[in-house]
Homo-oligomer: A and B are copies of this chain.
Amino acid sequence: MAAKGRVTIREVAERAGVSVATVSRVLSGNYPVPPATRTRVMRAARALDYVANAHARALVGGGRKMVAVVLRQVTSPFYAQVAEGVEAEAAARGWLCLVGTTGGNPQRELEIVQLMREEGARLVILVGGVVEDDAYRERVAHYAQALDSSGARLVLCGRQAPDPDIPALVVEFDNEAGAHAITGHLLSAGHRGIVFLGGLPGNTALDARVAGYRAALAQHGLPPEAAQVVDCGLGRTAGHRAMAELLVGTREFTAVFAGDDMVAAGALRAIAEAGLRVPDDISVVGYNDIPLAEDFNPPLTTVRTPAEELGRAAVRIALHDPEHAAGAHHVLGTHIVVRDSVAAPPSGRAR
């Protein structure tokens, strides 16, 4: 058996009675080797339980197939799905997947991108919306340029490139269209007082949803003042608290459009706690269609954003046509999933 430490190609060569070159050749399989020696080598490798040293391989071969996903957290159902899509697509091509979480900390994001560069990731996928300020723009420009100059590629998933000239691939959903559609759904059901719960000024994804919401309101002939945006941010807890607060006063609304399904979950609970029913008393819609949205009580009407597909698309596009991928902008479609959380406003309250 091997001494301490990993078995190297040399030990395999010795045991098989051949040179390291021969071992390398049969292992990589891209070179004609007589079956006889081939078997000898394989047998030796197996006996020693040899595993190649990926570092040495990468060093000489110019890096290995590895993609890095960096996201705020993996416990958000939406992000988790994106990560799963990335991992699945990568794995299907024999690529490895490194993950890093930032907790929303820009400094940490920078460190992680740096780390991924050191590791030689050929694809760095940044997932999730962010507040887009000058610091952000500068950071992303730097990532893109640095990655690009070393032959790697930056992919922005669900966030925009600060500048179209930046060598980054952008893959995202049309948040504005999705928000517009679902607001329209609420409007069609007769609602006029619709509050948007979960704004986060500066966050590109949320801002776009708010824009879609306002546009839909306007298109239905409502005045700008009809828009009621509560900037409570995302998350179950935020949704719960904000909804609870909304419920104490005189209600100026009959429906709520939650910024995402987690906010909707919190809002639903606050409504139930207030002794009100959905959709009889208040209609609620969400965004993203996380798997559990179907099991909410009542099942949630929401906008389906195929998150796993977003992740898959990110790596597929980036890997398929690397040249074209730089600077490209892909928008994935979304659609409404109608379930049971929307009804006509309670009679007497429709305005």
Interface of A toward B, CB cutoff 8 Å: 1-2, 4-7, 49, 51-59, 62-63, 73-75, 77, 80-81, 83-84, 87-88, 91, 96-101, 114-115, 117-120, 146, 149-151, 236, 240, 262, 265-266, 268-269, 272, 291-292, 294-299, 308
Contacts and interface: CB of A to CB of B under 8 A. Distances in A.
Contacts of A59: 53, 55-56, 59
B269 A118 contact: no
Given A2-B149, A74-B83, A268-B297, A291 B236 contact: yes
B119 A54 contact: yes
Nearest to A235: B291
A99 B101 contact: no
Contact of A99 (B75, B99, B118, B268): B99
- The 10 A-B residue pairs with the shortest CB-CB distance, nearest first, are A297-B297, A265-B295, A54-B118, A55-B58, A55-B55, A6-B150, A51-B117, A55-B59, A269-B295, A80-B80
A151 B297 contact: no
Contact of A150 (B7, B115, B292): B7
A291 B240 contact: no
Given A7-B150, A87-B101, A268-B295, A120 B77 contact: no
B101 A119 contact: no
Contacts of A120: 53-55
A3 to B, nearest CB: 9
B297 A269 contact: yes
Please report whether the interface of chain A is mostly helix, strand, loop or mixed according to DSSP: helix
B74 A87 contact: yes
Nearest to A4: B151
A69 to B, nearest CB: 9
Contacts of A83: 74, 99
Given A55-B58, A150-B6, A236 B75 contact: no
Contacts of A73: 84
Contacts of A298: 272
Contacts of A58: 55
A236 B77 CA distance: 14
Contacts of A291: 75, 236
Contacts of A308: 75
B97 A96 contact: no
Contacts of A100: 87, 91, 96-97
Given A114-B51, A269-B295, A291-B236, A98 B101 contact: no
Contacts of A87: 74, 99-101
B96 A101 contact: no
Contacts of A81: 75
Counting chain B CB atoms within 10 Å of each CB, the highest count among A5, A53, A266 belongs to: A53
Contacts of A272: 297-298
A97 B99 contact: yes
Contact of A98 (B49, B98, B118): B98
A296 B297 contact: yes
A114 B45 CA distance: 14
A268 B100 CA distance: 35
Contacts of A292: 236, 262, 265, 292
Nearest to A62: B5
